[in-house]
C-alpha cells in the first residue's frame, strides 16, 4: 500500500534536547511538507521541499530544521531553540507540477516536551 | 502566516440532519480543498474544487468553489455518527512546482443519536 508513515506516534523529550521526527513516503511524490497543529487551530506550515536537496521555510520555521537527501524521506528536527515545541506534527506530500491534486497526510507525531 | 476563517467553529447536530459550513479568505485561491481529521490522525482529503462556481459531490458531501474565489462551502446531508471530526478547508495557491496550502481554523462536528 502506498502512503506516508510517521514515527513514532508519541514522543517525549526533555526541555533543551533536540529531537528528530521521521517522515517517509512511497507515493513517488516530489514535494513534501511539515505542519504543526496546536489545539483549536488549523495547520501551520513549517518547511516544505519541492525536490531532493532543496527546501524552503514556511510560516513558522524558527527553531526547526529539515533535510531532503532522498525523495522518500523528509525528517524534521525540533531544536532547543523552538520555544514551545509541544504540538502535533503532520507530514504531507504531493505531486509536483500537478496543481490542485492536494496534499496527502501522514498519521502525525505528537511531541511532548517535559 | 494567514489562516482562513471557518464557521461555525463547532456544531452539535442530531443524526439525520444536514450540515453546512463555510470558509472565507481575504485573498483568492486557484483551488479549494476540504479535509476531515479524526482525533489523533492526519487529515484526509474529501473534496477538491478547481474553478470558480464549481459544485462537486462525494457521496453525502457537496462542496462549492465561490464565484469570487475567496470562499468555499461544504454541505453534509443526512449526517451519521461517523461524520464526527474536524473539517478543515484549505486554499491552494501554486508557487513554482509546490502546492502551498493555507488552512482554515476548522469546524468541529459532533453528531448525537
Task: Summarize pLDDT for B64-110 with one digit per residue, the tens.
Answer: 999 999 999 999 999 999 999 999 999 987 666 566 788 999 999 99
Mean pLDDT of A80-103: 82
Instruction: Say whether B104 and A42 touch across the interface (CB within 8 A).
Output: yes
**A101 to chain B nearest CA, in Å?**
8
What's the pLDDT score for residue B95? 63
What's the pLDDT score for residue B93? 76
By C-alpha distance, the chain A residue nearest B32 is A100
What's the pLDDT score for residue B39? 87
By C-alpha distance, the chain B residue nearest A90 is B42
Mean pLDDT of A70-96: 93
* CB nearest to A31's CB, from B35, B92, B98: B98
% of chain B at pLDDT higher than 90: 73
Q: How many pairs of residues across A and B have Cβ atoms under 8 Å apart?
A: 89
Strand partners, A20: A77
What's the pLDDT score for residue A97? 53
Q: Is the pLDDT of residue A99 over 60?
A: no
On whether any CB of chain B is under 8 Å from the CB of A99, the answer is: yes
Mean pLDDT of A66-83: 95
Instruction: Say whether A108 and B41 touch across the interface (CB within 8 A).
Output: yes
On whether any CB of chain B is under 8 Å from the CB of A66, the answer is: no
**Which conformational region is residue A16 in: left (phi greater than 0), alpha (psi within -120 to 50 degrees), or beta?**
left
Given a contact cutoff of 8 angstroms between Cβ atoms, the answer to whether B24 and B70 are in contact is yes
Task: Show the beta-strand stretches assigned E in A3-53.
Answer: 4-7, 10-13, 19-25, 31-37, 43-51
Instruction: Say whether A108 and B40 touch across the interface (CB within 8 A).
Output: yes
d(CA A86, CA A111): 5
By C-alpha distance, the chain B residue nearest A40 is B105
Q: Is the pLDDT of residue A5 over 70?
A: yes
d(CA B66, CA B76): 17
What's the pLDDT score for residue B81? 92
What's the pLDDT score for residue B98? 60
The DSSP symbol for B83 reads G
pLDDT band (50, 70, 90) for residue A40: confident
Instruction: Say whether B3 and A107 touch across the interface (CB within 8 A).
Output: no
Mean pLDDT of B1-22: 91
* CB nearest to A48's CB, from B45, B94, B100: B100
Q: Is the pLDDT of residue A42 over 90?
A: no
> SS3 of B69, please?
coil
**A81 to chain B nearest CA, in Å?**
20
Amino acid at each position: 500500500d502506498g502512503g506516508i508513515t510517521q514515527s513514532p506516534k508519541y514522543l517525549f523529550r526533555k526541555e533543551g534536547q533536540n529531537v528528530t521526527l521521521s517522515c517517509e513516503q512511497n507515493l513517488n511524490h516530489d514535494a513534501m511538507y511539515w505542519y504543526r497543529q496546536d489545539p483549536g487551530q488549523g495547520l501551520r506550515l513549517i518547511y516544505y521541499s519541492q525536490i531532493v536537496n532543496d527546501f524552503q521555510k514556511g510560516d513558522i520555521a524558527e527553531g526547526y530544521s529539515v533535510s531532503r537527501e532522498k525523495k522518500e524521506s523528509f525528517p524534521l528536527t525540533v531544536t532547543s531553540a523552538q520555544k514551545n515545541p509541544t504540538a502535533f506534527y503532520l507530514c504531507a506530500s504531493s505531486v509536483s507540477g500537478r496543481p490542485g491534486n492536494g496534499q496527502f497526510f501522514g498519521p502525525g507525531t505528537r511531541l511532548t516536551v517535559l | 502566516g494567514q489562516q482562513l476563517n471557518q464557521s461555525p467553529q463547532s456544531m452539535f447536530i442530531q443524526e439525520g440532519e444536514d450540515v453546512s459550513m463555510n470558509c472565507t479568505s481575504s485573498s483568492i485561491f486557484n483551488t479549494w480543498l476540504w479535509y476531515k481529521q479524526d482525533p489523533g490522525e492526519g487529515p484526509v482529503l474529501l473534496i477538491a474544487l478547481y474553478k470558480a462556481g464549481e459544485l462537486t459531490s462525494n457521496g453525502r458531501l457537496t462542496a462549492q468553489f465561490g464565484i469570487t474565489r475567496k470562499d468555499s462551502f461544504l454541505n453534509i446531508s443526512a449526517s451519521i455518527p461517523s461524520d464526527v471530526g474536524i473539517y478543515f478547508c484549505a486554499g491552494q495557491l501554486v508557487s513554482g512546482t509546490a502546492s502551498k496550502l493555507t488552512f482554515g481554523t476548522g469546524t468541529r462536528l459532533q453528531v448525537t443519536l
